[in-house]
Amino acid sequence: MQQAWNARARADAVFYVESYHASDRDGFFARGEERAAQFLDPVLARTFRDARRLHVLEIGCGLGRFSRALARRFERVTAIDVSDEMVSQAKAANAPWGNIEFRASDGESIPLPPQSVDFAFSYEVFQHMPSHRVIQANLREVGRVLRHGGAAMIHLRTGGMSQQILYRLADVVPARVHAALKRMRGKRSLTSDATWRGAPPLSQPQIERMARAAGLSVAEFLPDPTHGAGTRVFAIMTPGGR
């Protein structure tokens, strides 16, 4: 995961985080605030009396487009990413924001002590995790670092059995073949392996079971207004589930 995302960050970090704004860096960062107002603020309003005094964890910060939005809403932001190259670029791009700490991680563990975070947030990141095992490991870490009374808002890819089968069939094809097919279609070959394609989609019952195994409970599922209906979901999780 680290090697693949470092390569993407070196090639074109903005494109691989948000291809819609590949040529518009200002628009790229502005969109983080727009989307935070769209789907994050309603959750914060009914979850916390005053988030401005709390510590938030962002999983998969990329260049920090949501980190800035979180820094406007929370006292302290810890933003982690599996790519140390992304982290380096994020630090440079967000130097004026003194309440954000950018840290590299190994993609499966969170470099924070137990019960040290009030809110955990992740958007368009778990969908790139290459296996359900990696997703489970990250959920387990979320359960470990959340304080009592805290919550998590995790964005996940969803789908039925047919989509799960297609993803599993794609995993049988070697990455070099995927890369060659991408080049033939005029697409970027760095989107050809499992660290981009991600694990097979999850059903809501699967997400609930994974949450319980991580010591979390799914309080609610929220539709994602930024993707096609039924393809993504926000799972709002709270500590306690085993």
Q: What is the mean pLDDT of the chain?
A: 90
Confidence of residue 193 (pLDDT cuts 50, 70, 90): confident
> What's the topology of domain 2-159+204-239?
Rossmann fold (3.40.50)
Residue, of 197 and 113, whose pLDDT is higher: 113
CB 144 within 8 A of CB 114: yes
> 9-45: buried (b, 16+ CB within 10 Å) or exposed (e) per residue?
beeebbbbbbeebeeeeeebbebbeebbeebbeebbe
pTM value is 0.90
Q: Is the pLDDT of residue 19 over 60?
A: yes
The Cα–Cα gap between 42 and 232 comes to: 18
